[in-house]
Structure formats: structure tokens, C-alpha cells
A and B are shown apart, each in its own frame.
Chain A
């Protein structure tokens, strides 16, 4: 049981490039999330999904897009990368309903230069 798997672990992008951060989970969780963590800051919610085909914006969605075609996968797309997107990105998943904790991946450290 791998849990939540993110790829890549590290990436350096040039300004204006695009990339997709991959996230997959094998726990059959309906809910999935993307967070970013900047130095000295908490985790900020970028996008979330409550099931395949359903996504919605979180606190900081600008510059990102997501899709959810399957229960397992929740990729995050960065279009036209900017230095402000330099951060550590975490994908997470949880069971539906309230009072459930989220399971996090190990993170992707992204640097935009």
C-alpha cells in the first residue's frame, strides 16, 4: 500500500515553462487536495476535488489548473511558471465526510528561475 505518491520530487523550471505535477493514491479516497508550502508559512490550499470529474478552487488557485478523470489521479498543471510559484507542493487525499484526516504525499520541491 503506497498511499499518496507524488512525482517528481524535485524540479527546476525556467520562467514561462509549463509542467504537470503528478499525484496518485491507492486508498480509494474520494477527496484529494493540492497544497503549497512557502518557507515559514503554513500550507495553502490550491485546488481540491471531492470525486472524479469534480474540482474546485482553494485559497490560492491562480496560475494552476487541475483535472480529476479517475479516483486515483489528481495532476496539478502549472502554466507559464513564475518565480512566485517556487514552493513545495503537497498532494493529499482523505475519505469523504467530516472528521477525517488527510494523508499526504512526500512533496515536490519546485524552483522557478
Chain B
């Protein structure tokens, strides 16, 4: 079974600095990974994804890195902005590529 761990429940970063959020998974059978962002009292929204044929995918200030040998994902936000303060979840596929297991989330606080 797929297990997903986000070992940092919270992270505080100064505005303008880099935020690095990490995610580890156990089953490398599948090849597509996603990050979601969640504000309080809202549903998660898709942020960025990466396929295992790549080790990096960039979208503006957000970059996701994939280390397949270590079964590790990281999300970099540069520069961090106060509006980035939210909970970030990584999602990793399980049996059937449309079923995703979510990590426990990392609460990011960007300080102005």
C-alpha cells in the first residue's frame, strides 16, 4: 500500500525567502505526483504536478522536485509571499491512477 508522509506539520518563513516543503512516499510503482494548497474554510486547490519522467517542474514561483531513488518530493516557493500562507498537501497515486493518497499536510506561514 502507498504511504505518504509530510514530516513537517508547520513551517514559518520570512517574506521573500524560500519555502521548502517535503513529502516522502513508499510505493514507486506510479509516476505522477501532485501538490495541493488549502486555505482555511476552503477546499484544496491544485497547485503543481510532476511526472516521473522529469525530476523538476516549474510554474512561476513554484517548483517541484522529484527524487525517485529516494522516493521524495519537495516543493519550493521562491520568493515566498504572505498570500502563500496555507496548508500544502502532496498527493501520490495508489492502485488505479485516479486514486490518490494525501499526505498529512504542512502549514506554511509566511511572515511579512
**In the complex, are the beta carbons of A40 and B43 less than 8 A apart?**
no
Number of contacts between A and B (CB, 8 Å)? 59
**In the complex, are the beta carbons of A42 and B103 less than 8 A apart?**
yes
B 1-27 binary contact with A (CB < 8 Å = 1; else 0): 000101001000000000000000000
B62 contacts chain A at the CB level, 8 A cutoff: no
A/B interface sample: 26 pairs, CB < 8 A: A4-B43, A31-B98, A35-B102, A40-B104, A42-B6, A42-B101, A42-B103, A42-B104, A43-B44, A45-B99, A45-B100, A48-B99, A59-B101, A92-B43, A94-B98, A97-B97, A98-B32, A98-B93, A99-B32, A99-B97, A100-B98, A101-B36, A104-B44, A106-B42, A106-B43, A107-B43
B interface, size bucket: 20 to 34
A41 contacts chain B at the CB level, 8 A cutoff: yes
**In the complex, are the beta carbons of A42 and B32 less than 8 A apart?**
no
Most chain B CB within 10 A, of A59, A101, A103, is at A101
Known: A98-B32, A98-B98, A102-B100. A42 touches B4 (CB 8 A): yes
**Residue ID in chain B nearest A35 by CB atoms:** B102
Known: A42-B4, A98-B32. A90 touches B44 (CB 8 A): yes
Known: A41-B104, A45-B99, A48-B99. A99 touches B51 (CB 8 A): yes
Q: State the Cβ distance, B21 to closest chain A Cβ, in Å.
A: 14
**In the complex, are the beta carbons of A104 and B45 less than 8 A apart?**
yes
Residues of B within 8 A of A58 (CB): 99
B residues near A (Cβ < 8 Å) are: 4, 6, 9, 32, 34, 36, 41-46, 49, 51, 89, 93, 97-105
Residues of B within 8 A of A81 (CB): none
Q: State the Cβ distance, A70 to closest chain B Cβ, in Å.
A: 19
A residues near B (Cβ < 8 Å) are: 4, 31, 35, 40-45, 48, 50, 58-59, 90, 92, 94, 96-107
Residues of B within 8 A of A103 (CB): 46
Residues of A within 8 A of B103 (CB): 42
